[in-house]
Amino acid sequence: MIVPLLHQCTKANALFKPPVINQCRTIELKLTKLWHKAVETSLGKGNLARKNEFLHTLDTLFDILTCKCSIQLCSESNCSHSGKRENNSHIDCGCPREKKIPVLELEFIKAQRTKAEGQGSMQMGSIDYSETKKQIANAKKREQIRERRTKEENEEKVPPINVNATKLSELVDLSLEVLEPPLTTSLTSQELRNLKETPMQVPKWPSHTQSVERCVKMVTEAAGHVYSHERRE
């Protein structure tokens, strides 16, 4: 049920996918919570105010967007651009860029969020294939740029290896940059200062092969419980 719904959202706009919209697991939890409210209301549980509040939400949008920021139409704010551009709305959004609502859909989302009795100022139409194709191409381009930048950053972080080194201290030229030992990466600045007075006590980690194998097994099992975007959320 959820997958076809998300597919329809993506057909409406190629950018309507996680994290712009909720993950499947989150949507399932929202639907379950809404269903429980419906059952309680049908059985007469709860006070009248709670019942009226639930009945009012039946005519509103089941919002699966991550961003809940308020959208304002140009006509509502006496904007000078009203009617002069394709998008006639504004949003004061502080969400991360990857979670922002596509600009082209702001006016439609505003209409859906404020519709009453199932009627809104805008309704769904047929697929805009040219716009969808352009959005998909732009999304692929952004992903390629992101991957290239990530690769470049990783390459910059890896110091050059001296293949002609005859001892361990010559393997990497430490004068090129300051490389922090792994043991101190999790320490605060104050804890590092304290090491001047009190030497660091290095934990005794097991190095026996069987101990390491047990740890690998435990990490693998733990990872299995949080694997995939749905489970992590």
pLDDT digits (tens, 9 = 90+) for 47-75: 888 888 888 777 777 888 999 998 888 77
Position 120 scores a pLDDT of 64
Q: Number of structural domains, the chain?
A: 1
Mean pLDDT of all residues belonging to the chain: 78
Tell me the pairing of strands 71-73 and 89-91: antiparallel
Position 200 scores a pLDDT of 81
Average confidence (pLDDT) over 103-114: 84
Structural domain contains residue 65:
yes
Better-predicted residue by pLDDT, 171 or 65: 65
Position 67 scores a pLDDT of 92
pLDDT of 81 higher than 70: no
Structural domain contains residue 113:
yes
Structural domain contains residue 166:
no
* pTM greater than the 0.85 cutoff: no
pLDDT of 92 higher than 80: yes
Better-predicted residue by pLDDT, 189 or 227: 189
Furthest-apart CA atoms within the chain: distance in Å: 82
Better-predicted residue by pLDDT, 190 or 211: 190
Two tokens, residue 155: 């390459």
Average confidence (pLDDT) over 184-194: 83
**110 is in which domain, residue-wise?**
2-132
DSSP line for 20-40: SB--HHHHHHHHHHHHHHHHH
pLDDT of 177 higher than 60: yes
Structural domain contains residue 224:
no
Structural domain contains residue 108:
yes
Average confidence (pLDDT) over 34-39: 87
d(CA 37, CA 164): 71
- Tens-digit pLDDT profile for residues 149-170: 877 776 666 677 888 888 877 8
Mutual angle of helices 24-42 and 48-57, in 10-degree steps: 130
Structural domain contains residue 233:
no
Structural domain contains residue 180:
no
